Amino acid sequence: MSTAHVLLGLLAGGPRHGYDLKRAHDERLPQAKPLAYGQVYATLGRLERDGLVEQSGQEQEGGPERTSYALTKLGRERLDTWLTEVEPPAPYVTSTLFNKVVVALLAADADRARQYLTAQRAVHMARMRELTRTRTGPGTTVGDVIAADYAIGHLDADLRWLQTTMARVAELQKEVTTP
């Protein structure tokens, strides 16, 4: 995810200061890693430098002075372009989950691989149950639901892979240990 593009998207609704942007990010992308204030302001600085946002005012409501930022025409164009770009599927398998299974098999330890697969399956199932409860809990927003659906879809794919790999551990061990 590009933090810059997300901030541009949040500014598309109108000027905001950094605190509002951080809060909106964390509320609208509930399953994403929360942004640090420093990250928000550093990103705003780069966006301003590149002409994608501009300062639109200053506020002071019983605290420090806060600068509001607004999207520029160039910023709107950049956002629109980014929103039309299709994301290609990941070309490489870069999952720690995958790596651990292969390493366990390379260490000629099918039992360790099976134990890991079983334990990982239990953790994935627990997370899926938690996300399912999140989707229907009190105060659930549409953003919460689509974030949970996205995470559940990935967990479900991982669970199918874990099950298939468990069935193939003996074959895989022979393959990786045969010179």
> What pLDDT, in 10s, does the model give residues 41-60?
999 999 999 999 999 988 77
The answer, yes or no, to whether residue 90 has pLDDT greater than 70, is: no
Domain boundaries, the chain: 3-84, 96-177
3-state secondary structure of 36: coil
The answer on pLDDT for 166 being more than 60 is yes
- The stretch 91-117 carries a mean pLDDT of 74
Maximal C-alpha separation, the chain: 71
Best mean pLDDT range from 22-26, 39-43, 138-142, 150-154 = 39-43
Report the share of the chain in percent with pLDDT over 70: 90
**Domain 3-84, CATH 1.20.1260.10 — does that match?**
no
Q: Which of 43, 57, 53 is nearest to 73 (CA)?
A: 53
Angle at 165 between CA 159 and CA 170, to 5 degrees: 155
Q: Residue 30: what pLDDT?
A: 72
pLDDT (0 to 100) of residue 178: 67
136 pLDDT higher than 80: yes
At residue 4, the 3 state secondary structure works out as: helix
pLDDT over 60 at 1, yes or no: no
pLDDT at residue 176, rounded to an integer: 64
User: ∠ at Cα 77 (72, 82), nearest 5°?
Assistant: 125
For residues 11 and 40, the answer to whether their CB atoms sit within 8 Å is no
